[in-house]
Amino acid sequence: MASGVFFLVAGPAGVGKTTLLKRLVAEEKNLVKAISVTTRPPRADEVDGVAYHFWSAKRFEDAVANGEFLEHAVVHGKRYGTLARFVLEKMDAGIDVVKDIDVQGVEQIGRHPLFRGRYASVFIMPPSHDELVARLKSRESETAESLAVRLKTAESELERAGEFEYIVINDEFEHAMAELKAIRLAEHCLASRRLT
């Protein structure tokens, strides 16, 4: 049985990653989303184990010490990480895994010996800086201070888009979806995957 592929999808806050990936997982077969662990408190509409696993700082630190994470980082002052066991079990069963991740996380997974040749990196770009600002403001979940932090982070992330294997511009949603599906298909057609 062919191994699953780990799709690492990054991009600035407000670019539409969550919406794209939710739809991708709903429409594509043999694909699951890896749920991040975080130390940030849940928002009013968030349920533990759906968007995130909400852990205490102590539990998170214990998991780091035990080597349970593929990657972990501090983002906007809170800890985030990806549990290794879930991803590896799915991939070993031939199931693809998709992960909404930041640039630091992609770097860490890229260095992980178990993932060489087993992942694809995708960067979701906004159509323009102005559109990204408008999308962040329209969420109405940001204070002026948090918006400024997110925009500063977005600028540094956008500068690193060239480090990714694929770039999808989320200008028109259906077109962006089609490109994500095409990337997944292309990855499964690589000679290196088909001939192993």
Most distant CA pair in the chain: distance in Å?
Answer: 52
For residue 1, what pLDDT is reported? 67
First vs last C-alpha separation in the chain? 10
Q: Domain segments of the chain: what residues?
A: 6-194
The type of residue at 32 is V
**Contacts of 115 by beta carbon, 8 Å cutoff, 6+ apart:** 6, 70, 109
- Residue pLDDT, tens place only, 121-171: 999 999 888 888 777 777 666 677 877 877 888 888 999 999 999 999 999
The SS3 call for residue 127 is: coil
Among 30, 25, 34, 66, residue whose Cα is nearest residue 53: 34
The SS3 call for residue 75 is: strand
Contact 89, 32 (CB under 8 A): no
Measured in whole angstroms, the distance separating CA 95 from the mean position of its chain's CA atoms is 17
The SS3 call for residue 195 is: coil
Contact 23, 137 (CB under 8 A): no
Contact 37, 128 (CB under 8 A): no
Contact 66, 49 (CB under 8 A): no
Distance CA 36, CA 167 (A): 22
For residue 179, what pLDDT is reported? 98
**Contacts of 139 by beta carbon, 8 Å cutoff, 6+ apart:** 14
At 70, give phi and psi (nearest 5°).
-75, -40
Residue 42 structure tokens: 């849940």
At 189, give phi and psi (nearest 5°).
-95, 0
pLDDT > 70 fraction of the chain, expressed in percent and rounded: 97
For residue 142, what pLDDT is reported? 67
- Residue pLDDT, tens place only, 73-120: 887 788 999 999 999 999 999 999 999 998 888 988 988 888 877 899
Q: What is the pTM of this model?
A: 0.87
Residue 57 structure tokens: 């700082």
Architecture of domain 6-194: 3-Layer(aba) Sandwich (3.40)
